[in-house]
């Protein structure tokens, strides 16, 4: 096997490793098989490079077999994962959100590392106040608001919010004082009622009750994707807070409602 062939094989190994790294937690078994296959390929490539006596045809076969096995397994696992999904394949959804604590806007911690995100490859945020759902969802409950905060070590439930920011941990719970009154954790949703109409979007604002279980609307652009306002303040029926994308769409006349 010449150096060019070995280089191609090495690229395949790296591709397999990258693919495995980006998989969701549900595919841990796939990661194990891919890691074993990639290791076998790597070992055979190294042996081929350093050994001058070994039969090149045999070594080529030993390298190709795990490549084929890993490739077929990736195809099989991908198809199987899509079939198990509630949505029969990968999705690409977005929703904008804001967090307010007694009138003060709270920003999540900045992402670190090459991925430039907090959360998982499927469910994350890029320091843009936008929830990203990108990939295969096995169960829709895996991408509700509670799970979103769980992905980066924070907590959102019906009674409490704990979130990490660049300035430290922000923690509030129902009954805490907010501007000298009893505060309550609330979530308000701006939702487009007719998302299929690209000319005359109509939105409504609703107060979510079981907000930790809410799964964002299945749209890529915002709007018609959701605007979610998470607010700790005195108990109220509506909020005056709104996502910038919705505010711009309203000013441009692309979005009307109340």
108 and 76 in a common domain: no
Q: Which residues contact 26 (CB under 8 A, 6 or more apart)?
A: 81, 138
Last residue of a domain, one of 26, 49, 84: 84
* CB-count exposure of residue 178 (10 Å: 0-12, 13-18, 19+): middle
Backbone dihedral angles phi then psi of residue 86, each to the nearest 5 degrees: -65, -20
Average pLDDT per run of 10 along the chain, which is 258 residues long?
A: 50 48 49 71 74 72 75 65 66 96 95 88 94 89 94 96 95 96 97 86 96 95 96 97 97 91
Contact 26, 8 (CB under 8 A): no
Listing DSSP states for 87-108 in one string gives TSSEEEEEEEEEEEETTEEE-P
Best CA proximity match to 229, nearest among 221, 240, 220, 215 = 240
**Same domain, residue pair 97 and 213:** yes
59 and 112, same domain (yes or no): no
Phi, psi of 255 (to 5 degrees): -145, 125
Q: Are residues 33 and 152 in the same domain?
A: no
Note whether 199 and 136 are same-domain residues: yes
Note the pLDDT of residue 130.
97
Residue 65: C-alpha distances to residues 9, 16, 82, 155 (Å): 12, 15, 26, 46
Alpha helices in the chain, H assignment, sequence order: 3-21, 28-50, 56-84, 145-150, 244-251
> Quick one: DSSP state of residue 47?
H
Q: Are residues 138 and 155 in the same domain?
A: yes
Q: Please check whether residues 51 and 140 belong to one and the same domain.
A: no
Cβ proximity of 226 and 208 under 8 Å: no
In a shared domain, residues 170 and 231: yes
Q: What is the number of structural domains in the chain? A: 2
> Of 142, 130, 138, 139, which is closest to residue 93 (Cα–Cα)?
130
> What CA–CA distance (Å, rounded) separates 19 from 59?
25
Q: Which residue, 49, 84, 119, sits at the end of a domain? A: 84
Q: Are residues 173 and 139 in the same domain?
A: yes
pLDDT of residue 61: 78
Tell me: do 73 and 184 sit in the same domain: no
Contact in structure between 232 and 178 (CB atoms under 8 Å): yes
The answer to whether residues 193 and 252 belong to one domain is yes
- Residues spanned by the domain of 22: 3-84
d(CA 212, CA 156): 6
Strand, helix or coil at 146? helix
Q: Hey, which residues does 94 pair with through a beta bridge?
A: 132
| Residue 79 C-beta-side C-alpha neighbours within 13 Å | 6
Look at residues 43, 67, 84 and tell me which one is the last residue of a structural domain. 84
Question: 114 and 39: one domain?
Answer: no
């Amino acid at each position: 096997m010449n150096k060019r062939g070995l280089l191609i094989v090495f690229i395949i190994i790296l591709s397999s490793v990258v693919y495995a790294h980006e998989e969701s937690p549900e595919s841990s078994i796939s990661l194990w098989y891919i890691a074993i296959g990639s290791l076998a390929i790597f070992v055979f490539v190294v042996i081929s490079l350093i050994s001058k006596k070994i039969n090149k045809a045999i070594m080529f076969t030993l390298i190709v077999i795990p490549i084929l096995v890993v490739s077929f397994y990736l195809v099989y696992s991908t198809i199987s994962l899509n079939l198990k999904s509630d949505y029969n394949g990968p999705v690409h959804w977005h929703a904008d959100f804001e967090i307010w604590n007694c009138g003060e806007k709270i920003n999540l911690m900045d992402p670190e590392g090459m991925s430039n995100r907090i959360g998982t490859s499927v469910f994350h945020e890029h320091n843009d106040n936008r929830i990203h759902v990108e990939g295969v969802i096995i169960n829709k409950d895996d991408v509700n608001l509670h799970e979103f905060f769980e992905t980066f070590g924070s907590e959102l439930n019906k009674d409490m919010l704990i979130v990490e920011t660049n300035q430290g941990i922000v923690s509030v719970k129902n009954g805490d004082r907010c501007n000298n009154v009893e505060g309550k954790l609330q979530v308000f949703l701006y939702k487009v009622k007719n998302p299929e109409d690209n000319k005359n979007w109509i939105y409504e604002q609703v107060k979510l009750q079981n907000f930790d279980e809410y799964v964002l609307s299945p749209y890529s652009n915002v709007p018609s994707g959701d605007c979610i306002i998470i607010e700790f303040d005195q108990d109220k029926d509506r909020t005056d807070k709104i996502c910038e994308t919705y505010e711009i769409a309203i000013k441009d006349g692309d979005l009307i409602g109340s």
